[in-house]
Amino acid sequence: MARHLERAENTARLVSVHSETRLDRPDRPGFYWEPALRVTGNLPEFQRRGLAQTEREATNVLITDPANPSSVLGTLARARENIRILRDVLPRESWEAINALHALASRPGAAAPQRRDAHLREIITHAQAMAGLFLGSMNEDAGYAFLRLGRAVERGDFVTRVLLDSLSGSEDNAAEWIGVLKSLTAYQMYRRSVGGPVTRPGVVRFLACSTVFPRALACCVQEAERALARLPDGTAMTELTAKLFAILAANSAVGDERRLASILRLGQEELDTLHGALVDAYFAPPLTEPSPLQGQKQSA
């Protein structure tokens, strides 16, 4: 649930910033929306459908396509279903809030250029309000730890996707990297922490290795480790987070882009491994051998 809510907010912000920076770079070669589709994992589906490379088709897939589980609407639909199932253990207001948010995301014509920016801002605001609702009204038990963990894993995965995609380009354009920071709500905190001009190496190091900015990879890894410590048998998985955090800390001053890119790829792999371990440990149905009585009944 927390991953779905975080993903919806991240996608909404990415599309909003992408729309904004498009006005500053009208001469950018190629299909402008391809990076946003690639970062969100929607490019293969977009190409499979044979959709036209237009802003309208791209923003529909990213924002309002009900058939796309990775669109803003699709992720909110899954979050809504999760909250419906968990209504008895979550704050009552969360069910009302997700219904309002899902209804907002379902509005016809929301991806149209003249409505898009205001629509996405509303999505982001409502998603952040839901995060605040959980923060202020839940016991800090295992259930809340799962919320923190899901949010941290999703944020960590998203920042690695954004950075790796941006590093794959050859540009060292300040406007491009300001856009990267804004897509992660990091622009002001970067200026406060780093100071000076926005540079490609500075942005990558800040978003990979900062331990004080909550959307930086290192900070997400720390948050995941703290959440794991509150779960039954969760400490068994902290080896993954401890290893990754140690690597990030050891390379916080590295300026070699290839080295940083390899660390980001490792981060993505480790977070994926952690996700799989969590599913196996807490969500997969147990495999049990049939009792002798069951076997006799089947034979009969």
- Which helix (H) or strand (E) segment holds residue 6: the answer is helix 2-24
292 part of a folded domain: no
| DSSP assignment letter at 221 | H
Calculate the dihedral angle through the C-alpha atoms of 285, 158, 191, 258, rounding to the nearest 10 degrees: 120
What is the CATH number for 244?
A: 1.20.120
User: What average pLDDT does this structure show over 236-243?
Assistant: 88
Do 163 and 130 share a structural domain? no
pLDDT in tens, 207-220: 999 999 999 999 99
Asked whether the whole model's pTM tops 0.75, one would answer yes
Do 134 and 5 share a structural domain? yes
297 part of a folded domain: no
Residue 220 in contact with residue 156, Cβ under 8 Å?
Answer: yes
Q: In sequence order, what DSSP letters do the residues of 157-211 get, joined into one string?
A: HHHHHHHHHHHTS----HHHHHHHHHTTT-HHHHHHHT-S---HHHHHHHHHH-S
Tokens at 130, concatenated: 């839901």
Closest CA to 9 of 147, 100, 131: 131
Do 130 and 150 share a structural domain? no
Residue 294 pLDDT exceeds 50: no
Do 149 and 133 share a structural domain? no
Do 167 and 128 share a structural domain? no
Task: For residue 243, give the 3-state DSSP assignment.
Answer: helix
Do 88 and 193 share a structural domain? no
Higher-pLDDT residue of 183, 27: 183
295 part of a folded domain: no
289 part of a folded domain: no
Which of 121, 138, 155 is the last residue before a domain boundary? 138
Do 127 and 180 share a structural domain? no
291 part of a folded domain: no
173 part of a folded domain: yes
What total of structural domains would you count in the chain?
2
pLDDT in tens, 31-87: 889 999 999 999 999 999 999 999 999 999 999 999 999 999 999 999 999 999 999
Do 202 and 85 share a structural domain? no
Distance CA 263, CA 230 (A): 27
294 part of a folded domain: no
What range defines the domain where residue 187 resides?
A: 140-282
